[in-house]
Structure 1
Amino acid sequence: MKKILILGAGTAGTMMANHLNKKIDKKEWSITVIDQYKNHYYQPGFLFIPFGIYSEKDVIKEKKKFIPKGVEFIQSAIEIIEADKNQVKLENNSVIKYDVLIIATGSKIVPQEIEGLLDDGWRKNIFDFYTIEGSTALRDKFKDWKGGKLVVHLAEMPIKCPVAPLEFLFLSDWFFTKKGIRKNVDITYVTPLGSAFTKPRAASVLGHMLDDKNIKIVPNFNISHVDSKNNKIVSLDDKEVEYDLLVTIPTNMGDEVIERSGLGDELNFVPTDKHTLQSKEYENIFVIGDATDIPASKAGSVAHFEGEILTDNILNFINNKPLEKKFDGHANCYIESGYNKAFLIDFNYDVEPVEGTFPLPVVGPFSLLKETRINHLGKMAFKHIYWNLLLKGIPIPGIPPHMTTKGKKLN
């Protein structure tokens, strides 16, 4: 029997196991998923934990719960991918052979890449919110914090969920206003980008939001190191920004197994055809989600849209049919802005976020690039959709994997 091997049981890997399990010929093919961790995290929920909106129980479930019946799940660390031999070696030296490999090993923050970040201030007055440990520690810090200079710092791109730093800023403004201490909190956003966001149209709208909320922005800041003794971050051209509380989005990198296996770039992301999601080096290796180097957002919505297209391409591959160049970089993201409102953006490789309605013309019900309450309700409903539809590979009605121009004001 031939084997499809999936590395990683996060968002992308779990969706692929569910998609493929429904469509392969089980007399000829089997599916195995390997992941070293027991728990599955709803990572978009980490953003809400520091502000007391979500707790651990909202974002943590067992991975096994979402692996479909008939799919083998191996909980183990992966030592190396031996692509030339079509096999993977586990930490106990056992070897798993494959005919088709799907790399869904994700990405993670690597704070040690920034000099001084892990010194004495780490988890004392320096925090992240991209991990469960960081978000819960920051929640505990925020409970008793009386104010001062709050600096939110983005180290470099790419990162998981590019809008999350902006959401954190907006929620901070709302949170401290609600607590009655906003006047005591000076909020500054420090970014290597030239503006608030990577997409110019959205950056213009969101930049105005920062102004309206009295949030300062320090653009074009390329970090050199953190001086935790003197509570400041220093750029390569010697600019300094002082903080009392630093919330950092450190360098994001792919898994170390990609580096050990010689399959990645300098950030351990796998070179991938941006339309077919096939490895550029090995024809029987496919890559999905945050593990790729494609110029799309590292976000759950992207993995979802990729999953539908990659499933078709893997079926094409195993049936000796040409791959289809169908993935267009489609992403959509809710941007929580506080006060029970949010934005929504929808874009792809070629089309920037624009105004309009989503997913249907005229009726929406969601508004693009506008701050509305119904967008906020959509954001909060997404947790239920994630656990009950997305991970199980169930299509969301009315939302195709490719970006549609219906309802969008393109001119």
Structure 2
Amino acid sequence: MRQLLVLGAGTAGTMVVNKLRRKLSRDEWRITVVDMSDRHFYQPGYLFLPFGAYEPEQVVRPAAPLIGPGVDVIRAEVDRVDAARNQVLLLDGRSLPYDDLVIATGVTPRPDQTPGMLDGGQWRKTIFDFYTYEGAAALAKALERFDAGRLVVHITDMPIKCPVAPLEFTFLADDHLRRLGRRDRVELVYATPLPGAFTKPIAAGRLGSMLDERKVTVEPDFLVERIDGTRLISYDEREIPFDLLVTVPLNMGADFVARSGLGDELNLVPVDRFTMLAKGYDNIFALGDANDIPTSKAGSVAHFAVDVLVDNFVAHAAGRPMTGRFDGHANCFVESGAGKALLIDFNYDTEPLPGRYPLPGAGPFRLLGESAVNHWGKLAFRWMYWHLLLPGRPIPLPAHMSMAGKHTPVPGK
């Protein structure tokens, strides 16, 4: 019997095992997923925890019921992949052979990589993150107490999970402080390593103007070298003092990727961006945040990439060429406060453009435009995530980006 081994039971790992279990013969294929956690977290919900919009129990569920029947689950930590022998070694001493391997272990925040962030005595006192369950819950308590001073939202470096989330946090913090009557006593600063609010010019212009409208000071091209007490210090010696720092630490892939010799300097697995096949290997794939493809590390990317990979894998397993090509399709709701949100939709070659999605003219979602419908779409996605996306059920959205309904704005109009 052939062995498909999947490392990681997060968004990408859970989707791929549930979809492939329906596609691969149970007489020919054994599917096993390895993950050390018995809980599954809805990571987009972390954004809402600091503002009390979600309760903690709404973003976490037991992991076991989310994996469909016919998939073996091993609760363990990976030591390394021995690609030469087609086996994975676990920290408990076990070894797992495979015919094909999928790495879907994502990325995690690494505050230890920035001097003074974790070891300066301010972690979870004046320095917080919201990219972890524990961090978002701790930040909620800090925001309750914070009523005056300088609040700095900071990105250490790219790439990060959901690159619009720091912007969303800034917009929601502005709205939160206004509703509490504290906004005029708080200076909001957005410090980013990017030259502006976003990587693509049209979206960067729109999102940047929204920061301006909310009187948020933007510190662009800010590459932090260290944190000294309550000061961010960049490599070019600029300083940003803070009373409360909400930071996005460096995001890195799993350490076993480095130990296995499979990753780059951030422990991301280099892959063919169209097939997710690891470079230099014919039986190792890397999905979701764990790979180095040049698009957003977002749940939508995992969803669309899995849709392409599943059919490719079936062909690959049968000795046929993989003809499916993932185009880098990503779409992300961007919460903007006051019960509104934007939507962006883009891929490797096309930047976010204004228009309507998914139906031209009808929408119902606006691209690069704020609306209440977009906000409700983001909230509704939580139900879709648990009940459709993770189980691998069909969602009526094409894996490949379409230009239908989009238009390129004319400068000056």
User: The TM-score by the shorter chain falls in which range?
Assistant: over 0.9
- 2:171 counterpart residue number: 170
Matches within 5 A, 1:10-49: 10-49=10-49
Correspondence list, 1:104-143, <5 A: 104-118=104-118, 119-143=120-144
Paired residue for 2:57?
Answer: 57
Match of 1:313 in 2: 312
CA distance in 2, matches of 1:174, 1:268: 36
- Map Cα deviations across residues 181-222 of structure 1 (whole Å, 9 max, x no partner): 111110000011100011111000000000000101000111
Cα distance in 2 for partners of 1:68, 1:340 equals 36
Equivalent residue number for residue 402 of structure 1: 400
Distance of 2:408 and 2:372 partners within structure 1: 24
Q: Percent identity?
A: 50
Give me the whole-angstrom Cα distance separating, in 2, the residues matched to 1:70 and 1:193.
Answer: 45
Q: Deviations over 1:214-266 (max 9, x none)?
A: 101000111110011xx111011110001000000010000001011110000
1:319-343 CA distance string (max 9 Å, x none)? 0000125100000000000000000
> 1:96-135 deviations in whole A, cap 9, x for unaligned?
1111100101001011110100121100010000001110
Matched residue type, 2:18: N
SS of residue paired to 1:13? helix
Q: CA–CA distance in 1 between the matches of 2:198 and 2:322?
A: 33
Q: Matches of 1:314 and 1:287 in 2, distance apart?
A: 12
Equivalent residues of 2:340, 2:375 under 8 A apart:
yes
Which whole-Å CA distance do the structure 2 matches of 1:300 and 1:81 have between them? 25
Aligned partners of 1:372, 1:290: CA distance in 2, in Å? 29
Equivalent residue pairs, number: 408
* Partner residue, 1:144: 145
Matched position secondary structure for 2:190:
strand
State the SS of the aligned residue for 1:264. coil
Q: Which residue of 1 aligns with 2:196?
A: 195
1:204-283 to 2 correspondences below 5 Å: 204-228=205-229, 231-283=230-282
- Following the alignment from structure 1 to structure 2, what is the Cα–Cα distance between the partners of residues 145 and 85? 55
Give the superposition deviation at 1:90: 1.0
2:23 counterpart SS class: coil
Q: Secondary structure at the match of 2:153?
A: strand
Give the secondary structure class of the aligned counterpart of 2:336: strand
Instruction: Report the Cα distance in structure 2 between the residues aligned to 1:206 and 1:60, rounded to whole angstroms.
Output: 30
Partner Cα separation in structure 2 for residue 151 and residue 250 of structure 1: 13
Partners in 2 of 1:299 and 1:313 — Cα distance?
A: 21
SS at match of 1:153: strand
Shift of 1:278: 0.5
**RMSD of aligned Cα (Å):** 0.8
Report what 1:157 is aligned to.
Answer: 158
Give the whole-Å Cα distance in 1 for the aligned partners of 2:188 and 2:364.
33
Q: Deviations over 1:123-152 (max 9, x none)?
A: 001000000111000001111222210001
